[in-house]
A and B are shown apart, each in its own frame.
Chain A
Amino acid sequence: MKTMRFFKLATWLLLSGFASAQIPNAETIHETGQQYKEGNPLTGASDNLAIGSQAMFEANLKAKKNIVDMKPNTFLSLWNNPGFAVQFEKFLSAPAETSDAARLYRKRIDRIMELLSPGNATKANQDEAFNLLPLASEFESDANNCTTIHDAIYAAANAKVEIQRLTEVDQELVKKLNTAQYNYRQSAKSLSLSGQPVSKEEQASYEKNATELRQATLDPSKDEVAALKQTIQKNQAQIATAELQSKFALQSLILQLFVQRRYQHVIITDRFYRALFDDGDQSLEGFQQMADKLGYNQAAGQVKLIADANPNGSAAAGGASGGAGAPGSGASAGAGSNGAGASVGNNNYYGNNNGGDATALSGSGVHLGIENLSVESLENAFVTGMKGASRTFKSLSQLDAFANEIIRDVNEGVKVYKFLLEKNELESASAQLAAVFTKGEYLPSVRLLTVDEKRKTLEYAQLCNRLVNAANSGNIDVLSDVVTHMKRLNPTFDDAEILAKLQGVKTASTLLVAQAKVAAAKGDLQSVQTEITRAAALWPNNPEVANFSTEMGKVSEAASPQVQAINDFDQLYGQKNFRRIFDEKEKYIAAIAQSPERQGKLREVLSRMQEIETSILRAQEISRRGDYAGAWEGLETTFAQYPDDLKLTQLRAEYSTQAPDLVRDLNAAKQAEEKKEYGSSLSWYLKAQSVYPMSDLSKSGISRVVKQIMPDAS
């Protein structure tokens, strides 16, 4: 019964692929179960997919979640962020920036900061620092940030010059306005017509003439006053706009650099800002208004902000295409009716390199433009960072102080890292380095760490990465291997919980295999499929799963008609049941066509049976003539060669009763011959021959025995 169930299961395994083409696949285990209850055979890939998905989900719950999400230590938890993991590995593999160029860069940055320090910020030092910015930007790790600062300061300085020029123009215009207004008043006082109207009829004509005269005399002065007023107002508006725009641009740059963690650049720009403007503690107020209106662009990469303040509050739209930049975002700039603006196209994230027209961000009289798009990471954190920074810092002084504090903190963190590394406390050291990297990736103390100093952490980081990947893949064998490596590299690594969870998963998988075996014994194909798929999902390399698969493979092979035929052939051949093989020869010929080693055996069987059958046919033909002794003799000869054939034996026995004297005489002769009683044997043979003179057995027996008696007989 059990064998039948196995065969049924094996048949399902073989035929499931064919059946799937006929019956709609179930999408869930529940549907599959329903189909099964309704009598539909289990079908192929879709069912397995559904079961596998569910099992993987369960595996995630049981394994991945328990292993990865338990966060055995701080450092490991960092690897849950793949973006960070990639960046950090890149940093760990990078050589220390100890080249001459890097040294020169650091020297220039230090010099700039020294020139702009509060005690040294004279006009000459500011100019020298300003001129050093493009030189500092030559080094690639600066990422042209110094050039950006240089340009922004240059623009701000130009704006200040323009403001000064407009102020002086306004002062001149005010003087001209005063003169024009005086002239206008004097003209109005002295203006009158000569003579008086003589009649009522002339009165109207007189007044009309007087009005025309007044207008002709006063209008030029009046127009001049109005024009001067308008020009002055316009200039005042431009002064206000230019100052606000330049301040805003610098503030945005400072905050952007802060979010980029370019703290030295923050301090440099901040000090230039203080040299140009005197805002006091409310310097970031305008920027906060802008940041509140800043949209969150999920598709945008890391960007640099440029911002323009426009008191008129006009909207601007970018009309130009972002162009074929790197996959990510396209940016465009355009001019609005009352000011400049920039826009970012966000419809080009996945493979579309054309930045489309986009609308500039604007609000509360501020335009925000984005340019210099990059594919650096942290792009999604940028807007959040800007908003956070704007809320955190109320003035540039705070920002300056905070940047200095971070630089100090990072420098101290690097020292702590080296200390922990020296003490072989790898887990703490790695966590410290990750924290230092996160805060001050671009600071000199971090950049000067050598590969050797980072090597152990790199190995540990890679193992952590593998740990997370292994947990995500659900391959707990790989996971075990990684944990072992981690423990070897870092003896302080706490692997107790992970190992406990791994053992739990393995046990669960093995139990599922046991359930599958029970289900197989019951012929419950649905449960077999479900349980074994779950077991494999939990522990893909579970030896129990492999064994089960092997067993199922054997069963399925045994279920094959061809394999079954071959097995039957082997069994019958072993039993020497050649008659059965001969009776079903068509089946075995077909099956053994693919098995060369059995073809010889089959040929031998068929040849032998052919001989037996021929002998039987001949004996039957002889017996039909009444010559039973001859029939028996024919069979006896064949029987001596093939004594195992049942049919031959039966027929021989039957004919022996029809010729008992001959049979008896020949048997006696044979027995005596075997005893070497050749005289007696010869006499029996002669007697048999006398009974049946045509007896070949007698003749051959006589000849044989005579040869024994007289070896030299002729």
Chain B
Amino acid sequence: MSRKKKSKGLPPWLVGFLVLLIAAAAYYSLTKNAPDSSLRTVEELSPDLYYENANSLRGNTYKIDAVIDSSLGNSPTKGRLFSVAVKGSDKSGNSAVLPVLIPVSLGNLTIQKGQHYLMKVKVVENGLLQAEEAIKP
């Protein structure tokens, strides 16, 4: 009687190493994307809802995925006002252009036309969207 050749699996140390590697990667990933992790719980803004009655949304905070369209104005006291195209979010699927105020507190952000940002915005008085956070995705 022939005797089967006994097969060889990954060595345990290797498996252990891989597990450690994956864990390290996960940790790194979570550590590196800390802000992103703060928008994760914020509700996304519905442009249609905003168009219909922006006033009723006052005080709420939303996140938007926006591309800078153009600068509308720059106030030394209030900040900078931009029009941004919120991606694919209206009923027809087209991007909706909305105004966003970048307050003076976010003055360190360098914003140019065409830049892509994830923003956390709040509906303030007069129904204006004011950015609280803005990160490049």
Contacts and interface: CB of A to CB of B under 8 A. Distances in A.
A677 B72 contact: no
B73 interface: yes
B128 A709 contact: yes
A415 to B, nearest CB: 118
Contacts of B123: 679
B126 A686 contact: no
A680 B76 contact: no
A687 B126 contact: no
Interface stretch (B1-9, B12-20, B36-44, B94-102): B94-102
Interface in A648-683: 668, 672, 676-680, 682-683
Contacts of A683: 50-51, 54, 97-99, 127
A690 B97 contact: yes
Given A702-B72, A706-B72, A709-B128, A679 B77 contact: no
B55 interface: yes
A712 interface: yes
A672 B50 CA distance: 12
B81 A680 contact: no
Contacts of A689: 97
B51 A686 contact: no
A205 interface: no
Nearest to B98: A683
B119 interface: no
Contact of B128 (A682, A690, A713, A714): A682
B83 A686 contact: yes
Given A677-B126, A686-B99, A709 B76 contact: no
Contacts of A680: 50-51, 53-55, 126-127
Given A702-B72, A710-B78, A712-B75, A677 B51 contact: no
A9 to B, nearest CB: 69
Given A686-B99, A687-B51, A687-B96, A679 B129 contact: yes
Contacts, number: 74
A673 to B, nearest CB: 10
Contacts of B83: 686
A709 B55 CA distance: 15
Contacts of A79: none
B74 interface: yes
Contact of B99 (A672, A679, A690): A679
Given A677-B54, A677-B127, A709-B81, A682 B99 contact: yes
Given A677-B127, A682-B128, A687-B97, A712 B77 contact: yes
Contacts of B99: 679, 682-683, 686
Nearest to B58: A679
Contacts of B54: 672, 677, 679-680, 683
Contacts of B53: 680
A699 to B, nearest CB: 11
Contacts of A672: 54, 127
Interface string B57-92: 000000000000000111111100101000000000
Given A683-B99, A690-B97, A713 B126 contact: no
Given A706-B72, A709-B78, A686 B127 contact: no
A714 B50 contact: no
Contacts of B76: 712
Nearest to A706: B73
Nearest to A683: B98
Contacts of A684: 51
A702 B70 CA distance: 12
A711 B72 CA distance: 12
Contacts of B73: 706, 709-710, 713-714
A166 to B, nearest CB: 154
A227 B128 CA distance: 168
Contact of B126 (A668, A676, A702, A712): A676
Given A677-B54, A677-B55, A682-B99, A709 B126 contact: yes
Nearest to A682: B99
A78 B53 CA distance: 108
A712 B72 CA distance: 13
A678 B125 CA distance: 9
B127 A713 contact: no
Contacts of A668: 51
A279 B51 CA distance: 149
Interface of A: 668, 672, 676-680, 682-684, 686-687, 689-690, 702, 706, 709-714
29 contacts: A677-B55, A677-B126, A679-B123, A679-B124, A679-B127, A680-B51, A680-B54, A680-B55, A680-B126, A680-B127, A682-B72, A682-B128, A683-B50, A683-B51, A683-B98, A686-B97, A686-B99, A687-B96, A687-B97, A689-B97, A709-B73, A709-B81, A709-B126, A710-B73, A710-B78, A712-B77, A713-B73, A713-B74, A713-B78
Closest 9 CB pairs of A and B: A679-B128, A679-B127, A713-B73, A710-B75, A680-B54, A680-B127, A678-B126, A686-B97, A682-B99
Given A687-B51, A709-B128, 8 more contacts: A678-B126, A679-B124, A679-B128, A686-B99, A709-B73, A710-B78, A710-B81, A712-B75
